[in-house]
Amino acid sequence: MRIIARSNIASYAARHPLTKASLDHWVLVARAAKWQSTTEVQAAFSTAKVLNAERVRFEVAGGNHRMIVAFRFDLQIAFVKFIGTHKEYDRVDALTVGQF
Please state the pTM of the whole predicted model. 0.93
Q: Quick one: pLDDT at residue 99?
A: 77
Supply the pLDDT for residue 19: 97
Q: Using an 8 Å Cβ cutoff, are 97 and 81 in contact?
A: yes
Q: What is the pLDDT of residues 37-59, one digit of tens each?
A: 999 999 999 999 999 999 999 99
Q: Choose among 55, 78, 83, 52: nearest CA to 67.
A: 83
- In this structure, the number of other CB atoms found within 10 A of the CB of residue 87 comes to 10
Please report the DSSP string for 50-63 in residue order: E-SSSEEEEEETTT
DSSP 97: -
Q: What is the pLDDT of residue 98?
A: 86
Per-residue pLDDT at 6: 87
Task: Report the pLDDT value the prediction gives residue 5, as an integer from 0 to 100.
Answer: 86
Torsion sign (Cα): 46, 81, 3, 6 = negative
Tell me which residues of the chain have a pLDDT lower than 70: 100
Mean residue pLDDT of the chain comes to 95
Q: How many CB atoms lie within 10 A of CB 42?
A: 16
